[in-house]
Chain A
């Protein structure tokens, strides 16, 4: 199954819930989780938010696992580094290699960082998986976040999909011609892919600029307020 976060955000039980509420809830939960820095609370938040996402928003559990697994690699690597290479204090475990040791301090850092991230992930997931980006950006606009940041966010969001599509198509084309047959060709293909993508995105950005100008773009994206549903 393909993991399409945007599709999930548009099609779940909480899509139409007030986005301000979701935004504030997420922000508050994040702040509380980080401020309390309590292992039990982290676990509690993780469980509660996971239940909200799976049972109330009715997000498919496979998609949710996929969402969690994406940042997991970074998290695990970070924590391994924290545990083995940082901190002072009493040594609690000696690996015997190059004098690398685990100290009480580093163990503390590692575990707490891991749990904190685990607590925060479902909070962010709650927002990301239930709220279409358009709504989030609207809220931010109303909350007086600088316009330029919202516009950059909007254009980036739009281009990411074009970009991913382009990469997908090119990769399939390369694969069809055995571009990923061996390690060596894989490297070559990937190199060609990245340089072409760069050139193409320059091209695309120019066309996008032209088409925006054609519709009277003045350097500022206007905000549309849809009519209230009667």
Chain B
């Protein structure tokens, strides 16, 4: 679906933000890109739909090389939708519906189709009834959902979200991850950047770890969270659940090299351990 080959990018002669990143995402994947602040996550994302042009390296989407002329850009930007971290950076129109309609209209779709898509996207994110509202009168979580609807309405094949949980309340985070899972089940490939590790095993089937412009880890959540040296380099921690079981192991309980990552897994493990004793 998406392949990035050895991308290098520098903002100026002293600072190289990406030092040769290669990664591959398959159709239907739900991928988490982990990395601390300033690791180059956002910079990498802006390469995926051709906002930034790499100094070196190439981006392929569906096996097709990303080109930077107007026509190809429009095509690729329809396929790869980016939800920005701060919804205020993305939402610009005076009403919610106009903002959601912006992308589809740029694709040159007929008005009927655009209206359908706006309705559908807004109901998808649970914002039906807010069509005529002014975005700056909405709460942070609501703005986020409008921003996602704006991308959804373009019917992307890959949806890229830059720190989508930043600034959301706990219920907002739960709702968002449910929405993303639903979208993923419907066939949209999803790439999320984050440094909140607790939820990652819950949704992601693949994890990349980016540190100082280099990918230092790649694998399933199980594989990644079993490598403390990678996590340490990336300023990350294991999910809090996993930490608990590691602590329990320190107390002499044998975990057989299997640390649960999610609440569900932890529950099973706990019951198993209890039954054994």
> Among the listed stretches B89-97, B187-195, B254-262, which one makes contact with chain A, having 4 or more residues with CB under 8 Å of it?
B89-97
Cross-chain contact A216 with B46 (CB below 8 angstroms) = no
Cross-chain contact A215 with B134 (CB below 8 angstroms) = no
Q: Could you say which of A208, A221, A224 has the most chain B C-beta atoms within 10 Å of its C-beta?
A: A224
Chain A nearest Cβ from B138, distance in angstroms? 12
Instruction: Give 9 CB contacts A-B under 8 Å.
Output: A134-B95, A154-B93, A158-B93, A210-B89, A215-B106, A216-B77, A224-B105, A224-B111, A226-B132
Q: Could you say which of A10, A161, A211, A212 has the most chain B C-beta atoms within 10 Å of its C-beta?
A: A211
Other A-B pairs beyond A10-B134, A208-B92, A227-B119, 4, CB < 8 Å:
A134-B98, A215-B154, A222-B105, A225-B111
Give the residue of A161, A217, A218 whose beta carbon is less than 8 angstroms from that of B136: A161
Give the residue of B82, B94, B154 whose beta carbon is less than 8 angstroms from that of A133: B94
Mask of B64-89 contacts with A, CB within 8 angstroms, 1/0? 00000010001001100110101011
Cross-chain contact A218 with B106 (CB below 8 angstroms) = yes
Number of interface residues of B (CB under 8 A): 40
Give every chain B residue within 8 A of A211 (Cβ-Cβ): 82, 84, 89-90, 92
Mask of B95-130 contacts with A, CB within 8 angstroms, 1/0? 101100111011100010011001100000000000
Chain B nearest Cβ from A101, distance in angstroms? 50
Cross-chain contact B46 with A210 (CB below 8 angstroms) = yes
Cross-chain contact B92 with A216 (CB below 8 angstroms) = no
* Cα–Cα, bound, A204→B91 (Å): 12
Give every chain B residue within 8 A of A225 (Cβ-Cβ): 111, 115
Q: Is B131 an interface residue (CB 8 A)?
A: yes
* Cα–Cα, bound, A204→B85 (Å): 13
Q: Is A214 an interface residue (CB 8 A)?
A: yes
Which 6 residue pairs across A and B have the least CB separation, nearest first?
A216-B106, A222-B105, A134-B94, A224-B101, A215-B103, A211-B90
Cross-chain contact A226 with B97 (CB below 8 angstroms) = yes
Q: Is A137 an interface residue (CB 8 A)?
A: yes
Q: Is B49 an interface residue (CB 8 A)?
A: yes
Q: Is B150 an interface residue (CB 8 A)?
A: yes
* Cα–Cα, bound, A157→B95 (Å): 12
